[in-house]
Structure 1
Amino acid sequence: MKRSICLACLIVCASLVGRAQSNGSKYADSLLHITQHSASDSSKASAYLLLSYYYAFRDSALARQNLDHGRKAAAPYPFLYALSYFYDGVARYGVSDVAGSEIAFMKADSLLSQFSTKEAISFRSKTWRNIGILRQAGGDEEGFADLLIHKAIPLAQQAGDTIAVGKNYLDLSLVFKNTMQYSKATGYILQSIQVFRTKYSAGDLIVAYNTGAENYVLDKKYPEARAMLDSAWKLLADWPAKELYIDYYTAESMYYDETKDFRKSLASIDKGVALARQHSKQYEEQRLLLQKYYTYFNAKDYTNAREVLNYLVEQPEMMSQIGNRLQVYYGLAETNSTLGSMPAAYNWLKRYSLLSDSVNEVKLANNIHALEIKFSSAEKQKEIAALKIEREKAELSARNNRLINWLLGTASMFLLVLAVFSWLIYRNNKKLAEQQLKEIEQQQEIQFSQAMLQGEERERRRVAGDLHDGLGGMLAGVKMNLTGLTAAPVAGNGSELHKVINQLDSSISELRRIARNMMPEALLKFGLDIALKDLCGSMMTETVKIGYQSFGIEGSIPQNTQVTIYRIVQELLTNATRHANASNILVQCSQNGDTFLVTIEDNGKGFDTALASRAKGIGLSNVKRRVDYLHGNMEIVSAENEGTTINIELNVA
């Protein structure tokens, strides 16, 4: 049977609690002596406030009296005055004034936030932790976790209070344990244990071991639970405050209960109850008694189980928390139902249902309905006895009908599941087919682009060769013949011949430029890096400056790939000079393994990148086709009148 027992209690700090528990009345007497004989008003104020904490859960009247004296004495001291509201929150919680307690804590945080000392930040962390505990007591586990994560833990870390961080981790584990998320709870418990081991805070380490043992029991991990119990027991032998044995016996009784050793479970509970009564720990005693109920119930001793719950339902400490009330109400419904007390079972289950959340609403309604039927049957027992035979026949018929309905329902459910499963398979197959078709189309498009680019380069190379070797040679021969004629010019024709030769020189230069653009000779002879540098130099004019930077370009790149990269840079430079009206252009090329990076920046007029796909004459479609051919990516950063930056990443494997 699953159970969740909350461990909510307000704290100030470990050292304060330790002194109060270890020295008892001597601790209170020493504080009282300070209030009567100290010459310092601030010391008196601090002593009064600590006395109010000491009496908060022992004597509410003395707690309030010392708090009033402390606040009055702290009035000239802003920090102590802020702390008075912290202790006010503790005192109000001691008399179950939950609303007033939270208001006091919120006031304390508001006043303490004006101070930047580590002590003030540490008290703010404790303040938010206590506010979270108040909300947890009201059933808001999520709110408690939220305040721990976003308030208490960050403030404790800011204050450098490592022990407080560990305690907050332990609080978080309780939230997850109470909501039956045992694996998450284990993680925070182990973190808190690591903190307490590092700082060697023995008392906190014992609490963490006990909590870990309970969590492992609830998670059905009994060897791990036993190991936690053994670790706690070793530390308890040297621990002066025997109250920590109470939590140990609680965890140990849960372990024996879950492992079906009910006799040892009851023995552990009795030891814990005796200690709790000895130290006036009412809530801890009632926690043990709630565990005693579970042990009796699991041992099928329902009479004693019900007696324990009848006692607990009258105890304000136990019933102040919603989680505990739910367990007690549901337990009373179960035990009374098992013992045949159907009216009582019905009433307790109804009270349980009113407290439950909407998640269990349907299940609870069914349980209540079943109890109503049993209750009605018990009220009409005499009448039913007279009609026993007819009832048996009706029940037999009802069972047959239920069996038929169950079979029909099962068949319908099977068909529904089968239909859903078939639809899912069909949808997945359809998506897979669409994805495969899309991949095939993309592959075909890439292959088409590849073939087109390769054909284009072959044609460029052929035309370049024809121009250079054929027409270029012929023009060179014509030039030589004309040059020979200038050696003995005909009278009056010398200047005309020189003019023709100059025009022929220009034609040859233009022809060579066209041939070089169609198939750069520098790329074929010296490689990509030299070719790109030569390209940038050839495109510079008096009005356009082009800078070129390269890093790590390897000569092992396949020639087809080099040509494609060259064409990309050539096209982008042409765009920048012709269309962008740029006066400064920077070309950067680098290689890192199989990745080739190109960046071209210009100070031209820029353009709207959203309209780039519809723009004509800027050559971006040619560049994009070549980038796709090399399985690359292109990024364009531009805006009107702000220049353009183009980043390209290519795969040259």
Structure 2
Amino acid sequence: MRLKVFVFFLLLSITGMSQTGREARIDSLENALKIAAHDTTRVNILSELTRSYGGIDSLKCFENGFKAIALSKKIYYLKGMADANINLAGGYLDYFDVENAKKYFVIGNNFADKLIAKDSSAQHMKIWLRGNYNLGVAYGYEGNLEKEIELAAKTIPIAQQMGDKMFVANGNTNLGIKYANLSLYDKAYEMFTISQKQFKEIGTPEDILYHSLAFATSLAQMDSLDRMKSVLDIAKTNLDKIPNSFYKGPYFGELGLYYGRSGEFKNALKALDRSYAFYKDHQSNYYLKLLYQRYADIYDKMGDFKKAKEYTLKHINFTDDEHSISDKVGSYYKLAKYEAGLNRFQQAYDYLKDYVIALDSARVGELGNDMQQLEMEYKTATKEKEILKLENEKNETALALEKKKSQNYMLWAIASVLVLLLFIGYYGYNSQLRKARKKEHQQETEVSLLKQEQQNQVFSALIEGQENERKRLAIDLHDGLGGRLSGISLNLSKLDKDEPKEYPKTQLKKVMKDLDDSLSELRTIARNLMPETLVKFGLKAALKDYCSSRTGNDTKVTLQFYGTEKGINLNQQVTMYRIMQELINNAIKHAKASEILVQFMRDGNKVDITVEDNGIGFKEETLVDKADGMGISNLRTRVAYLKGDLEIHSEENEGTTVNIQITLDAT
């Protein structure tokens, strides 16, 4: 459905005019048409009315367009024939009639080619640019991105040379839309950012609205909700400047999308209601189809399956015929889910059957394309065989005429020599092959032994690490918590023995404080064993909690977390947490650091961990001597378990930096 959303905004750009004052402009053009004295003037006014009525009144759009074409042909007015056909094509594109749009774009562009061949003034070049660029847009609707890119590359540089900043700004926004449709979000963001600056410089409030709404939809696909809200705020500022704007409905539709993605469902429904109120009197408007889907998504998230089903049915039964196979597949699957949620299992089963039929249709379509490709390959192969057959027949005829007895004897002799050479070669080849196989087997055995040895070392190191962790836990329990509890026991025994006559408030306060300290130490030990925050809320929250707990009067621990832990399994997250925990402890205990920076950066399947401190440091050549005291061998074992790389850089009195690189696919 994402493609359709962007198509809606793309349609708003191809009219090439602001909605501000459109009604007044239409009235002005209608009045001018009544008093026009010349046919060329009438053609120009009719053509402009075709553009102005586009997307508003299809009947008047097409009526004026065909009148302009007929009159321009009658007087053979080349500019009028080009402009009228291109504007009529834009009208068809407003209503998703791509075939007719392409037809009239091609006719208009042919006239535009002749027009600029005679007079390439800026006025004529703008007609040529609009026709060729929007023909590419029409191809893009059909999925022919190659043709769309070709025509965009042909027109945008020419517009830039002409200084047509508005055309370039629209072109960059539309490129952003196209890249977002292809999920090339970095490129989409770049193009939207460029056109945002361009529209800010030259655009009207309506132009900025068009750009901001398209940008906001793209940001929603990127899950960049903070940036989406700031762009929607820009849209709202410009919307307030335009009474009765055409963009009022789309603005509240995108605001509803933002609130829905942010989990503010009540605000989302209010925004969608305001958008629906804008379109409710135009039940065939394409944007309603999009609103129905957004209503359904929000009610789905709220758990209201009855409402979700109602709006999904409105979406799938919309009056247009633009439902793709994938759209139907998704809708039927959701309907089955909602019916099951309402305990209507028979209806759920029926929708699942519709889902399977739609899914099969999609596969049949793919199979049809494959069959066409195979048919082309078969025809090509058949032709090649026929050519080869003719050549062989020709060669055989030539050889039959040239055969002689002497050549037969020569052929027998050559054949005997070849057989002998082949036998010798075959014997030598087999001998070399046996040697190669034997060597390869030996190498495989050696590699297998090395892998086994490496695994044994890793497992031994892990077991050793576990034993050290258990020893540390035993020491913490015996020396720390055990000592505190023994002290509490002695104090209570002493209190019982002394049998105070008055209420022993002071002694009991001391006992309560010791109990609180014991509980705090117990929680610390438990958190070190398995952080509860990590299990419940993930790696980021656990690290934030741990860094906060280690920050005190003498030490500041700062966490910078970029990316997400989604897709990283719990064992991997725990291991990464232990690594960073050990590095922070080393920085505090051994390096005496006052400032520690912890960075976690996730880019796709790449994870980079950096822990940097301003402690006393050490000479790197002494790292082997310090390894046991600082737990370096344990660190290397954990990094090896994640199949990562560990680098340590340190200088005396200059601090220490530890870098770890992990590829998640390798774990």
**TM-score, scaled relative to structure 2:** 0.49
Q: Which has the larger radius of gyration?
A: 1
